[in-house]
Chains A and B, each alone.
Chain A
């Protein structure tokens, strides 16, 4: 089943108990991390996520 194209119920990856699996699963297909987090997280938080998720292996 294709993922949703719109953001519903933003999953904040900086919330305790939220891991990268929860976060990446919540990003709609075709949407970048920057787009998903825009206006929800600070620029430095988004920059950290982009960098850190380069190391993330599902």
Chain B
């Protein structure tokens, strides 16, 4: 007897693993290589000091006010920017999917334990990746306008036209990324205090490829003050793509091979150095690189663990929905700007 069936057909098996997104590692906050300053609610005063002294011929009389010891302390208030990631979800949409199996009995129960464990849990790495991107690449609307209004130039004390273009093309964000903060800030410790171009040391740049990457790192290193190059703590901060370029350059075959970068370890433990200074790879725009002491780059925040904190609860008044909310307060800042060398700035 033939089977007579006219309904739709469906699959009866499924891959156990849900194929998830690959998220950018939020290592700026996780590794805390730069200055992560916690414990601030709405604003932070950043103090910078500099003492200069002058040697004079021996004075056997009483000490007078000579002005030969200059104790300079400057305070810059930095406002934290409060922001959140929030939304509502309607779990009822999961009915008819694999997730229905993990919903408790009862029509009102539509929360899937499996969905929470396998999909909703990805909100935190997604937020971490977004924060990582915004810490290194992005500018506020106001800063974009201010930087666009600068007259560019090639010499020190001017922004390059390429940097202006790069900032204009950056994502518009709620706070300035570290790269943009180097370019433009309102530090009171600058040579010209207040809002304006940063006091960074400029090294003019070009489009970096595996063919010229060694020469460009040499230009950045060579442009830095000797106090920085002599410091074992000084490190490079470079775009993610440089890791590929460096390995391609180091591994070139034949006469083209020049091993200019030291690669130690592998996988998550891999470290890459140029002239014995560690290179940190972050989602920086391809125009820029930084060479400085990491502690001069600051992320000011209420609590760095905020990035991993999620409020999830049922929406009130019988709604069959849940809300999700992550709240943070953050800003970036740079200190000792005269020791920050910016490639492409």
Residues of A within 8 A of B (CB): 12-23, 45, 47-49, 51-57
Contacts and interface: CB of A to CB of B under 8 A. Distances in A.
Contact of A18 (B153, B161, B162, B206): B153
Nearest to A57: B161
Judged by DSSP, the binding face of B is loop
Contacts of A16: 155-158
Contact of B154 (A21, A49, A54, A57): A49
Q: Which 8 A-B pairs have the closest CB atoms?
A: A55-B161, A19-B153, A56-B161, A13-B154, A55-B165, A19-B151, A16-B156, A16-B155
B160 A52 contact: yes
Contact of A14 (B155, B161, B162, B165): B155
B208 to A, nearest CB: 13
Interface of B: 151-158, 160-162, 164-165, 204, 206
A22 to B, nearest CB: 8
Judged by DSSP, the binding face of A is loop
Specify which of B152, B154, B160, B206 lies most central, judged by the most chain A CB atoms within 10 Å of its CB: B154
Given A52-B162, A55-B152, 15 more contacts: A12-B155, A13-B153, A14-B155, A16-B156, A18-B153, A18-B158, A19-B153, A20-B154, A47-B206, A48-B204, A49-B154, A51-B162, A52-B154, A52-B161, A52-B204
Contacts, number: 57
18 contacts: A13-B154, A14-B154, A16-B156, A16-B157, A18-B158, A20-B153, A23-B153, A23-B154, A48-B204, A48-B206, A52-B160, A52-B204, A53-B161, A54-B161, A55-B152, A55-B162, A56-B152, A56-B161
Contacts of A22: 153
Contacts of B162: 51-52, 55
A17 B157 contact: yes
B204 A13 contact: no
A19 B170 CA distance: 23
Contacts of B157: 16-17
A12 B204 CA distance: 15
Contacts of A21: 151
